[in-house]
Structure 1
Amino acid sequence: MARATIKSIAKLTGYSVGTVSNALRNDKSVKEETRQEIQEAAAKVGYRVNLDGLKLRTKKSYRIGVLVSVSTEDADEWEGVEFTRILAGISSALQGSRYELSVFNVANMDDAMAVLARIVQDGLADGVIFSGTLQDDARIAYLQECGFPFVTMGMSDSPKPHAYVDIDSQTAAYDATARLARLGHRRIALINPPSDLIYARQRQAGYIDALKQAALMPDETLIFRGPTTARTGHDAFAAMMAMSEPPTACVCANEAMTLGVLSAAHEAGCKIGRDLVVVSTDDLKLSRYFVPPPSTYYVPIEETSRLLGDYMLRALAGVDPTQNQKKIRATLIERQPDTPAHKEAHHPQPTEELQKT
């Protein structure tokens, strides 16, 4: 069977070669009904664009670069778990387009900057997606200076607008903290990522706002920071229980930290829900299998990652960055009953093993 070409599709449909070519490129000069008719005909005869020739003509790679953070530290056992779902969502958004994903592993900021320079200067991709936005993010400043299309998972403090998809971390932390305060908890801890991350600062702001709204004085000693891993949650629990007046509730930034808290509590003989109430944010629905399963603020990661791909395509098409920005609000999943603060909670001292970690 002869390979389908633009000329053969033109002969089949009765349209000119130019119209067929424009329709297959999704050119807006072709009416929507005509584009659909031509594209359906092309699909039936198995037409596939000659990407090699197209790349030469357009000087484009037809690839989207995604920066994925990798770590060689044993303690970072959870970091990156969600990236498989993020990549799947981006890929689904690119289906039907000519673009494919290229994944670039980066270990730190210097590594990321070197990779971005290669992508931009060597034409390895036409656009870039990355997460973990920082204060004064050098990646964003570089790409904006180069005029290179990009989308971030997370807002930034850049004075120039750029495309992003973000979780409303501030509202999630506010809601979780306010919920605990309404239940009578007066010492509420926050287990949070490092404060150089934009979303960590947003989450802390929501936490403090909720405390002030409840007439509670924010206490820096109740804020624990570290990588978004189970180890951080495990260590934070030990530090909490070593306090002369331990908190009766805590808000965890993600499921990994929550898992660490639950594990340490079990080791110490602390009953979750009685001695300590735990609420998790950035839920990926894995925590429904934890024991006990905590109440969480669910993040629709599939919707979020599909939007990253959609916004990337829109950015490549020249859409104004202010039209490619969205914050997604997390929704509460109640897996534990509302537990009021106990006047005399049982707070066991950390075991020798916990004290050493």
Structure 2
Amino acid sequence: MPVTIKDVAKVAGVSPSTVSRVISNHPRISPKTAAKVKRIMIEMGYHPNMVAKSLVSKKSNTLGVILPRPAEELFLNLFFSEFIRGIVTQATRQGYDLLMSSGTTESEEMEAITRFVKGRRVDGVILLSSKKNDPTVKFLREQNFPFILIGRSDEHADVLSVDNDNVQAAYDVTKYLISLGHERIGFVSGPPQLVVSQDRLEGYKKALKESNLPMKSHWIVEGEFLQESGYRAMSMIMNLADRPTALIITDDLVAYGVVRGITELGYQVPDDISLFSFNNISISELTTPPLSSVDIGIYQMGYTASQALLRNIQEDQHDQRRIVIPHRLIIRQSCAKMNSQERS
């Protein structure tokens, strides 16, 4: 006969309801009791029937993750892989699985969100990007459904979110390049509809204005978070008569395309142009030259997002707030002082 919750409870010397709470990772069960019950479950070969459990508890023990682009495109960028690793680590510790979905259009994203919520397929949702006038945020708020936003909502200050201070981070990078003597600084941005793109561009402009330095529209290029975007940007920027002597790039993957484009045009980094990027993914220090980049704590952001959402779900907390992860400037060899570069 299959082992039941009552069998486990009898051996563990606890009530069946306590075993159920251990299975649900209830926060009020002491670590000692939870460890004991889990050990006995393993020894007795007990496996919870999660489908039956979800019917009773009306919980799926699953988190939904909405990917901002098609998966085959998204996972070309190690940023998202590291982010998902952080989410999975915390979710697994709490006994939760992940259900991921993506869409190529806004309507497809809304369809995925609707399936998650209306079908009760997940207990909460993690949105991996924040957009201006985001309909998914509006929908989840209307449904009073637990969710967390990666980034900053430009409309709702009370939304539970995990983010960096992207205005300050871009400001810090720009001021660092200015301290090296650069006066013509360009910016390779992400998609303009994303709040992170707006914030980083704002920080860049703020630093230039404070230092009374020029900010020219043709020094700013918008694109996707793809290597090809950076590659294409260089054919325009490096052919300008007044081209920048330094570039800030909003994503490391884009920066790899920038380096490739610069090299193919016969220029060198940092002798001809300095580069400073964002995200500090693992291979940034392995590029030639090693890439200066802003460490935004990718894994920590994913881990914290999962942790905060699960606390909201399990403890029914509604004190929505914005969690800010500190950033660090990682200085490597892709930036040089102006006195070691030719002024043109």
TM-score by length of 1: 0.87
Partner of 2:62: 63
Q: Quote the offset at 1:13 in angstroms.
A: 2.7
Shift of 1:5: 2.6
Deviation at 1:30, TM superposition (A): 4.9
SS at match of 1:345: coil
Aligned residue in 1 for 2:317: 319
Identity across matched positions, percent: 27
Equivalent-residue separation in structure 1 for 2:74 and 2:55 (angstroms): 43
Q: Partner of 1:297: helix, strand, or coil?
A: strand
**1:58 partner amino acid:** S
Summarize deviations over 1:225-268 as a string: whole Å, max 9, x none. Answer: 11122222222222222222111111111112211211111111
Deviation at 1:285, TM superposition (A): 2.3
The 1-side partners of 2:139 and 2:123 are apart by 15
Between 283-292 and 337-346, report the one with greater CA deviation: 337-346
* Cα RMSD for the two superposed structures: 2.6
Q: Does residue 335 of the first structure (1) align with residue 323 of the second (2)?
A: no
Q: Distance in 2 between matches of 1:153 and 1:107?
A: 19
In structure 2, the partner of 1:355 is none
Deviations 1:325-354 (A, max 9, x none): 32222222222175211497276xxxxxxx
Task: Say if 1:140 and 1:158, in contact at 8 Å, map to a contact too.
Answer: no
Q: Specify the alignment match of 2:48 in structure 1.
A: 49
Runs of 4+ with deviation above 6 angstroms? none
C-alpha separation between the residues in 1 aligned to 2:128 and 2:188? Answer: 20
Contact 2:66 2:101 in 1 (8 A): yes
Unaligned runs of 5+ in 1: 348-357
> Matched residue of 1:312: which SS?
helix
Q: What one-letter code is carried by the residue in structure 1 that aligns with 2:318?
A: D
Pick from 254, 258, 282 the counterpart of residue 257 of structure 1: 254
Listed as ranges, the matches of 1:185-334 within 5 Å are 185-317=182-314, 318-322=316-320, 325-334=322-331
Q: 1:134 maps to which residue?
A: 131
Equivalent residues of 1:68, 1:83 under 8 A apart: no
Q: Comparing 92-101 with 140-149, which one deviates more in the overlay? A: 92-101
Deviation at 1:99, TM superposition (A): 2.1
Higher deviation after alignment, 26-35 or 139-148: 26-35
Change (3 A) 1:334 1:9: same
- Shift in Å, 1:86: 2.5
Letter in 2 for 1:274: D
Structure 1 Cα separation of the partners of residues 197 and 162 of structure 2: 16
Contact 2:276 2:335 in 1 (8 A): no
CA distance in 2, matches of 1:172, 1:256: 18
Q: TM-score, normalised by structure 2?
A: 0.90
Residues 80-103 of structure 1, C-alpha deviations (whole Å, 9 max, x = no match):
543333222222111243421111
Written as runs of structure 1 = structure 2, the 5 A alignment for 1:16-31 is 16-27=15-26, 30=29
Query: Matched residues in 2 for 1:65 and 1:220: separation?
Result: 39
Distance 1:268 1:30 in 2: 63
Distance 1:149 1:142 in 2: 11
> Counterparts of 2:90 and 2:76 in 1: how far apart (Å)?
24
CA distance in 2: counterparts of 1:210 and 1:86, whole angstroms: 29
Structure 2 CA distance for aligned equivalents of residues 13 and 77 of structure 1:
46
Separation in 2 of the partners of 1:299 and 1:193?
Answer: 16
Compute the displacement of 1:24 (Å): 4.1
Q: Distance in 1 between matches of 2:187 and 2:319?
A: 33
Quickly say closer, same or farther: Cα 1:42–1:264, change in 2 above 3 A. same
Q: Deviations over 1:188-217 (max 9, x none)?
A: 001101221100111011111211232223
The CA deviation at 1:113 is 0.7
Task: Provide closer, same or farther for how the CA distance between residues 18 and 257 of structure 1 changes in structure 2, counting only shifts above 3 A.
Answer: closer
Q: Which runs of 5+ in 2 are unaligned?
A: none
Matched, 1:14 2:49: no
Kept in 2: contact 1:79–1:228 (CA 8 A):
no
User: Per-residue displacement from partner, 1:109-157 (whole Å, max 9, x unpaired)?
Assistant: 1110111112211222221112221111111000000111111211112
Q: Is the contact made by 1:153 and 1:165 (CA closer than 8 Å) also made in structure 2?
A: yes
- Distance between the aligned counterparts of 2:76 and 2:334, measured in 1? 29
Q: Does 1:161 align with 2:136?
A: no
